[in-house]
Structure 1
Amino acid sequence: MRVLHIITGLGIGGAEQQLRLLIPHMREVHSSVVTLTNPGAVADALRADGVPVTHLGMRGNRDLTALPRLARLIAGGGFDLVHTHLYRACVYGRLAARLAGVRTVIATEHSLGAAQIEGRPLSAGARALYVATERLGTATVAVSDTVARRLAGWGVRPARIRVVPNGIDVGRFAFDAGARRAARRRLGLAPDAYVVGGVGRLAAGKRFGTLIRAVADVPGARLLLVGEGDQRERLERVARECGAAERVVWAGAVSRGLPELLSAMDVFVSTSAEEAFGLAIVEALAAGLPVRYVACPALDDLPAGEAPGALRIGASAAEVAAALRSVPRERLPVPDAVRRYDIAHSARQLTSLYHEATKLPYEASDR
C-alpha cells in the first residue's frame, strides 16, 4: 500500500515526532511525506530513515497556489491513501486529494483542545472550515477519547471518528543511571540536586511560567526545561522576576536525547491546563518518574489506578509548589498505563484502519 502523509511542518513537535515514530512500525505501508512548511529537524530524521520527504514551500495559511501544486503531487504519486496531520494540512490535504482523484483520506487530529487548536484560540471560522473539509475525507483519527468527544461536539459524525492513541517506544525511555550522571554533569546539575522537569513547546498554553514560579517557592529545587518556542524570552523574564534565573536550566529542543534528560530529573510536572493527549507525561512515566499534572487525557481517560505514580494537581503556582514539596525522590516501576501506549500497538491499529478504508487485504500480526 502506498500512503502519502501530509503535515503542516516538520519542526520538533509532538505530532511531527509521532509521525516519524509510526512510519517504521507500519511495515506493510510504503510511506512518503509532504511538509507544507518548515522542513526542519524531523524532515532530516525521516530522510535519514529512508522516507522520501517533499517540501511544498507554502507561504502561509492563505497561499492558495499550494493547492494545485499539492494536487499534482498526489495525482502523480500513485497513492492508495492520503493521511493528513495538523490543521492546515488537513484542510488543504483533503481538498487536494479530492482534486487529484484520491478518495481515501484519513486525518489525525493531534492537538484539539476545548477552546484552542495547536496552541491557538479557536475562531468560529476556523471551526467551520475544519468541519466542512472533514466531510471530504474518509475518517478522522482522534489521539484520545477526549479528542473524540471534542470532535463530536464540533459536529463531526461519531461514525467517522476512530480513536488511535499516540504511542511511544517504551523501552527507549527506561531509566539509565549512567545517562543521569552524564546529563547532570553536562548541564551543571549537582548529583544530589532536586531536579524538577518540564517538556514541551515554550508556548503560552503550556503555562511554564506557572512552573517557574512554583519551583522558585521550593527551596533548593532546580528546573530543567526541555523545548523551545516563542515564549522563551518572556519565561526568562519570569525567572528573573521571581528570583529563579540561576535555578532554571534551558535544555532547548531535542530530537534524540530526551530519554537522557528524563533520567536526569527527579519529578516531572505538566502545568498545561488543556491537552489533547499528554505524550510527554507518558514518556516521563516510562522513565520511572513520579508525575504531577494538571490535565492529561492519556491518563484521565483510563480506568483509575493504572498510573499510580501520576497525580493530578491544581493549576496555580502555589498548588504546584505544594505538590513538589511532597514528591518522594525515588524511581518507580513503569505503570500499566504506559504499556497501553506502545507505538507498535498504535501502528497496528492505524494499518488496520488503512486497509479497512481502502478495502485492500490485510493480515494483522504482532510483529
Structure 2
Amino acid sequence: MRVLHIITGLAAGGAEQQLLLTIRHLPPGIDCEVATLSNPGSVAAALRAEGVRVHHLAMRGNRDLGVLPRLIRLIRHGRYDAVHTHLYRAGLYGRLAARLAGVRVVLATEHSLHAGTIEGRPVSAGVKSLYLAAERLGSTTVAVSRQVAGTLADWGVPGQRVAVLPNGIEAGRLRHDEPERSALRARLRRELGLPEQAFVVGAVGRLVPGKRFEVLAEALTRLPDQVRLLVVGEGPERDRLTRAAGPRAVLTGERADVPELLTAMDVLAAPSVEETFGLAVLEGLAAGLPVLHSGCPALEELPADAAPGARKLASTADAYREALLDLATARPVGPLPRPPAVAHYDIVHTAARLGELYQRLGRRGAPALAEREI
C-alpha cells in the first residue's frame, strides 16, 4: 500500500516528530512518502536519512494557491492508495488535492485542536468554516485523544467520520540501562555546563506562549542556587525566556537527541494547559523521571494508577516552586519504574493500529469507526 503524508512543515515539533516515529514503525507492506508544504527542517533530514522520500512543495504562504496544482500532479504521478494530512494548512490543501487527483482514501490527523484554538492560534469563524469544509473532503479524521474527538463533535463533525488513535512514544529508546545512563548523564552535563551535583529541572517543547515555560523561569528565580533549568526546544519565546530565567538556565535549541538529554534531568516539568495529548510528559515517564504537569490528556484518559510518577499542578510559579523544592530536597535516587501508561502508548502498538486503519479504509473506501478508539 502506498501512502503519501502531507504536512505543513518539517521542523522539530510534536506533530512532525510523531510523523517520523509513525513511519518508522508502520507494519511491512506500507510504503510511505512525505510532502511538506514548506520548511523542510530537521525532521525532513531525519526522514531522508531513513530512506523516506520527502517532497518539498515550496509553498510561500497560506494563500499560495499555486501549491494546489503541484500537489495534484505529485499525487497523480505517485499513484498513491491513500493520502494522510497533518496540521491545518496541509489539511486544507492536501485533502482538496487528493480528491481532485482521484484518491479514494483521504485521512487527516488532528494533532492540536481545542474549543477556541487550533495549533495554538485563536479560531475565527472563517478558520472554523474552512476547517469543516476541508474535513468533509476526507474519508476519516483521526483524533489523537478523546479530548480532540470531543472538540470535533462540538464543531459538528459526525462521529462516524472520527477515529480515535492516540500518539505514541518510542519507549524502547527512552530508557537507558546502567552504566550507560550514568555515563550519558555525566557527559551531557559537562557539555551543557550543568554542575554534576545540580538538581536539574527539564522541559521539552516548542518555545511558544502555549507551553508556559515562563512559569518555570519564574519558579527558578525563587529556588536554591543548586537548582538549574534545562529547556530543549526552539521558538519565538527564546529571548524572553532567556531573560526571565537568568544564568541558571540552559536553552539547548532544537535537538535530535532528546532521549539522551532526558538522562541529564532530575525531573520533567510541563506547565502547559493547552496540550491535546502530552508527548513530553509520557517521554519523561518512559525515561524514569518524576513528572510535574498542568495538563496531559493522554494520562487523564487512563486509570489513576497508570502513571504514579506524574503529578498534576496548577500552572503557576508558586505551585511549581513548591513541588520542585520538595523534589530537590528529597533527591530521588535513580530512575523510577516504568509505569503502565508507557506501554499503553508505545509507538509500536499505535503504528500497527494505524496500519490496520489504512487497510480497512482501503478495502471499504468508507469512513472508519464511530468515534471509538481503534
TM-score if structure 1 supplies the norm length? 0.95
Task: Provide Cα deviations, 1:234-276, integer angstroms capped at 9, x if missing partner.
Answer: 112222xxxxx11101111112x11121111001100111101
Cα deviation 1:33-88 (Å, max 9, x = unaligned): 10000011111111111111100011111111111111111111111000000110
| Distance of 2:341 and 2:220 partners within structure 1 | 27
- Deviation of 1:326 (Å): 1.5
Runs of 4+ residues deviating >6 angstroms: none
Q: CA deviation at 1:314?
A: 0.8
Q: Alpha-carbon deviation of 1:117? A: 1.3
Q: Is the 8 A contact 2:202 2:262 kept in 1?
A: yes
**Pair 360,32 (structure 1): closer, same or farther in 2 beyond 3 Å:** farther
Contact 1:107–1:141 at 8 Å: present in 2 too?
A: yes
SS at match of 1:137: coil
Does 2:223 match 1:228? no
Q: Which residue of 1 aligns with 2:5?
A: 5
Query: Aligned to 1:269, what secondary structure does the other structure show?
Result: strand
Instruction: Verify the 8 A CA contact 2:289 2:309 in the aligned structure 1.
Output: yes
The one-letter code matched in structure 2 to 1:263 is T
Superposed, 1:200-349 pairs within 5 Å as 200-220=205-225, 221-239=227-245, 245-255=246-256, 257-327=257-327, 328-330=330-332, 331-349=335-353
- Give 3-state SS (helix, strand or coil) of 1:37's partner: coil
Query: Which of these residues, 173, 193, 206, is aligned with residue 198 of structure 2?
Result: 193
Q: TM-score normalized by structure 2?
A: 0.93
Instruction: Name the counterpart of 2:145.
Output: 144
CA displacement, residues 120-168 of structure 1 (integer Å, 9 cap, x when unaligned):
2221211111111101100011111111111111111111111111111
The residue aligned with 1:155 is 156
CA distance in 2, matches of 1:228, 1:113: 23
Contact kept? 1:6, 1:34, Cα under 8 Å: yes
Q: Distance in 2 between matches of 1:298 and 1:11?
A: 23
Between the aligned partners of 1:113 and 1:323, the Cα distance in structure 2 is 28
Q: Distance in 2 between matches of 1:58 and 1:266?
A: 42
> CA separation in 1, counterparts of 2:114 and 2:100?
30
Contact in 2 for aligned 1:25/1:347 (Cα 8 Å): yes
**Cα distance in 2 for residues equivalent to 1:24 and 1:261:** 21
Contact conserved, 1:22 with 1:347, CA < 8 A, in 2?
Answer: yes
CA distance in 1, matches of 2:205, 2:297: 16
Aligned residues, how many?
355
Q: Distance in 1 between matches of 2:183 and 2:237?
A: 32
Contact 1:174–1:286 (8 Å) recurs in 2:
yes
Q: Which runs of 5+ in 2 are unaligned?
A: 366-374
Question: Are the equivalent residues in 2 in contact too, given 1:201–1:228 (CA < 8 A)?
Answer: yes
CA RMSD, aligned part only?
A: 1.2
The CA deviation at 1:316 is 1.1
Partner Cα separation in structure 2 for residue 214 and residue 123 of structure 1: 34
> Given residue 253 of structure 2, which amino acid in structure 1 is its aligned partner?
G
1:65 and 1:319 mapped to 2: Cα distance? 49
CA separation in 2, counterparts of 1:15 and 1:350?
15
Gaps of 5+ in 1: 240-244, 362-367
Give the distance between the partners of 1:159 and 1:95, measured in 2 at CA. Answer: 20
8 Å Cα contact 2:169/2:346 also seen in 1: yes
Query: Counterpart of 2:251 in structure 1: which amino acid?
Result: W
Q: What is the DSSP-based 3-state SS (H/G/I as helix, E as strand, rest coil) of the residue aligned with 1:196?
A: strand
Deviation at 1:24, TM superposition (A): 2.3
- Among 170, 176, 183, the alignment partner of 1:178 is 183
Higher relative CO (CA 8 A, sep ≥ 6), structure 1 or 2?
A: 2
Shift of 1:360: 7.8
Work out the CA distance in 2 between the residues paired with 1:233 and 1:320: 22
Shift of 1:108: 0.4
Deviations 1:152-197 (A, max 9, x none): 1111111111111111111211141211111111111111101001
- Superposed displacement of residue 329, structure 1: 2.7
Q: Which amino acid aligns with 2:61?
A: G
Contact persistence 2:6–2:84 (CA under 8 A): yes
Give 3-state SS (helix, strand or coil) of 1:12's partner. coil
Distance change (3 Å), C-alpha of 1:55 and 1:333: same
Where do 1:64-79 residues align within 5 Å?
64-79=65-80
Q: Is the 8 A contact 1:33 1:53 kept in 2?
A: yes
CA distance in 1, matches of 2:15, 2:344: 19
The amino acid that maps onto 1:321 is R
The letter for the 1-side match of 2:279 is L
1:114·1:274 contact (CA, 8 Å) conserved in 2?
no
Structure 1 window deviating more from structure 2 (278-287 vs 325-334): it is 325-334
Alignment of 1:60-139 (within 5 A): 60-139=61-140
Q: Distance in 2 between matches of 1:151 and 1:178?
A: 46
Deviation digits for residues 73-114 of structure 1 (CA, Å, limit 9, x no counterpart)? 111111100000011001110100111011210110111133
| Partner SS state of residue 268, structure 2 | strand
